[in-house]
Amino acid sequence: MDRYNGSIREIIRASFLSTFYYKTKEGGYRPTWRFWRWLSVIVINIAFFISYHVDVQLLEGTMNGSRLLGFHLIDLFTAIETWTATHAIHTNMIIGSATILVFYLLVGGKSFCAWACPYGILSEIGEHIHQKLVSKRVIKERKWNPNIRFAFWAVFLGVTFIDGFLVFEIINPIGILSRFIVYGWSLAIVWVLVILLFEIFYSRRMWCKYICPVGTTYNLLGWVSATKVQWDMDKCDHCGACLDACFENHVIEFVKPKYDKERKEKGKTKQIVINGDCTLCGRCFDVCHTDAYNYTFRLKDLV
Ligand code: SF4
Ligand code: SF4
């Protein structure tokens, strides 16, 4: 992808493979953030696979619950589900969930979705196809209020409380895919493909945006987490490429020129993406031809 010399249309409509690298101003090639994220997801999931098949105690288990070099890690929503179902709090679960809690408070709540979730990369492929179909007017975009996620979150936990069973795990594509990667084929994988088809033909990133309670839990951390995306108004020319690339683009609504006057009056030209829906995926960095985005660590003044 040639984000510095290509037209905005060429950047937005770049082929999927070309979004893994970009041409620098000096004419060389560098990996994009998408490349590093995919590498992160692939390495994590290969570590699960190797630990099970070669019997090394590297990263044992699945995305729901695991042991990293023998140290317990538990996905936060899985921990909440388990507590809701069993009404019991075990020491290992406290250690595992507290570790994950602190980790994502530091690196960014929803960074889980972009940097670790195996369904996330499938969903990105689906999103690319979806965007192509929308631009060719084969299908139309459908949007709902993303706050519907909180209703799903409460319903899944409510049913778990009544049933005493981790109901959501039957349909959780993250757990299904993770078990598929580690333990092999199961018919449940068909359900993951059904979700993906809905995301391709019905609504962009539908599962992640409107349903997934795992992402919703990380959203809550995201609002207060330390690592954030920062945007610089002085660099931005309002081309809109980042708004097109970001599937949670309500979090960067502020790049629109209508907010410039207010910002200038306040003398505030840099803005942090506060909204917990930002996955720190770096897609906005990858398409921005003025390098208006960067990561910032809000605790840096303390360390
Ligand atoms: S931040 Fe970059 S990609 Fe987004 S509108 Fe401004 S110049 Fe365009
Ligand atoms: S604002 Fe940027 S980093 Fe955050 S979700 Fe959107 S594209 Fe990804």
Q: Where are the domains of the chain?
A: 8-31+226-297, 37-221
Q: What distance in Å separates the CA atoms of residue 247 and residue 155, rounded to the nearest whole number?
A: 25
**Per-residue confidence (pLDDT) for residue 263, from 0 to 100:** 86
Fold of 8-31+226-297: Alpha-Beta Plaits (3.30.70)
Looking at the CA of 4, name the nearest ligand: 1
Note the Cα 298 to chain centre separation in Å: 20
Nearest CA to ligand 2 atom 4: 278
**Per-residue confidence (pLDDT) for residue 45, from 0 to 100:** 95
The residue ranges of the chain whose pLDDT is under 70 are: 301-303
Q: Ligand 1: distance of its center to the CA of 248 in Å?
A: 15
Looking at the CA of 231, name the nearest ligand: 1
Q: Ligand 2: distance of its center to the CA of 81 in Å?
A: 28
Q: Which atom of ligand 1 is nearest to the CA of 235?
A: 7
Q: Ligand 1 in contact with 291 (CB < 6 A)? A: no
Helix count and strand count (H, E) for the chain:
14, 8
Q: Ligand 2 in contact with 288 (CB < 6 A)? A: no
**Per-residue confidence (pLDDT) for residue 73, from 0 to 100:** 93
Q: Cβ contacts of residue 100 below 8 Å, gap of 6+?
A: 73, 74, 75, 76
pTM, two decimal places: 0.92
Q: Ligand 2 in contact with 278 (CB < 6 A)? A: yes
**Per-residue confidence (pLDDT) for residue 56, from 0 to 100:** 84
Residue 98, CA distances (Å) to 135, 165, 170, 282 in order? 44, 23, 25, 26
**Per-residue confidence (pLDDT) for residue 303, from 0 to 100:** 63
- Give the pLDDT confidence of 45-98 residue by residue, as tens digits: 999 999 999 978 889 999 888 889 888 999 999 999 999 999 888 888 899 999
**Per-residue confidence (pLDDT) for residue 92, from 0 to 100:** 86
Three-state DSSP at 64 gives: coil
